[in-house]
Amino acid sequence: MSLEKVLVTGATGFIGAAVVKKLVTLLGIQVWAGARDSVNEFPEKVISFPLGDIGRSTSCGSLSGISTIVHCAARVPVIEARCPIEDFREVNVNGTLKLARRASQDGVRRFIFISSVKVNGEATSLGRPYHAHDAPSPQDPYGLSKLEAEQGILAVAEETGLEVVIIRPPLVYGPSVKGNFANMIKLVDHGIPLPLGAIHNKRSLVGIDNLVDLIIRCIEHPAAANQLFLASDGEDLSTTELLRSVGNAMGKPVRLIPVPAGLLQLGATILGKRAMAQRLLGSLQVDISKTCELLDWKPPYTVEEGLRRCFERSN
């Protein structure tokens, strides 16, 4: 990769921090770390770039000299909490478009937008994964806001010539991950018996190291311009297989009780936990063949390796 300046927004977040670290430690390029406030603990070669609250009124300052923006900053869903669509739009749509327009004005070459598989939808039939060319079907305010942001930055690209790359990852796991994956780790760590020993769904996920590797490829690869890519580890696991794999990576026994999925679905419906049941019992698969073929890329780590690296760095 030629020496260039890259701005990473959301640089203190889970994905953004990993991108900053890899760009600096492995590639040695100058990185501008965009965060809400000025941050001092970034390593050498990282320039703190305070953005304030991302939204319609964001004042991002001059982007002159920056060649690529990796836009990771976002309003994300909070488990079991509901936020109005306007809250997601303010950050994910208005803030993104304000940054993209400023980027086009200041001569930024490429804008990489970290979107979400939720733009595609919430579930797939077993063995029928989402493809990059599928019609979007977001089912919640977060997914809808990401779709609207995608549409907006593509319009900016058409008007200005800014190169846009959209990446839609499914569940991302890695050291210090939060949310549903963190909750699953706690259950395995505490040795709690789980009624998930007979689940035969398939779900795609992506380790943080694989996702960051793909983002780096999209910074440098000419064929990435104005394309949409799905991301995953290239291996789909059932919930049962994932729990066992997490246990193996942690060196912990996993206590799984083989309760039929239909019975679990019924119980979840009665308790008003259908969304949780969908995440545990339903399938959500993505096809990354376009990503691999167009970018000459493949995930560098298997799920087994990704999970092992996850817990090695957590200890």
Residues serving a catalytic function are 142
Dmax (CA) for the chain in angstroms is 58
Residue 249 CB burial class (10 angstroms; 0-12, 13-18, ≥19): buried
Q: Parallel, antiparallel, or unpaired for β 68-71 and 5-9?
A: parallel
Which parts of the chain are beta strand (E)?
Answer: 5-9, 30-35, 46-50, 68-71, 110-114, 163-168, 171-173, 203-207, 227-230, 236-237
How would you list the strands of the sheet with 5-9, edge to edge?
46-50, 30-35, 5-9, 68-71, 110-114, 163-168, 227-230
CA atoms of 137 and 155, how far apart (whole Å):
20
CA atoms of 31 and 161, how far apart (whole Å):
23
Q: Say whether 232 sits in a helix, a strand or coil.
A: coil
Please answer whether residues 234 and 205 qualify as being in contact, where contact means their C-beta atoms are separated by less than 8 angstroms. Answer: no
Contacts of range 48-53, beta carbons closer than 8 Å, 24 or more positions apart: 49/7, 49/11, 51/9, 53/91
Cα 266 off chain centre by: 31
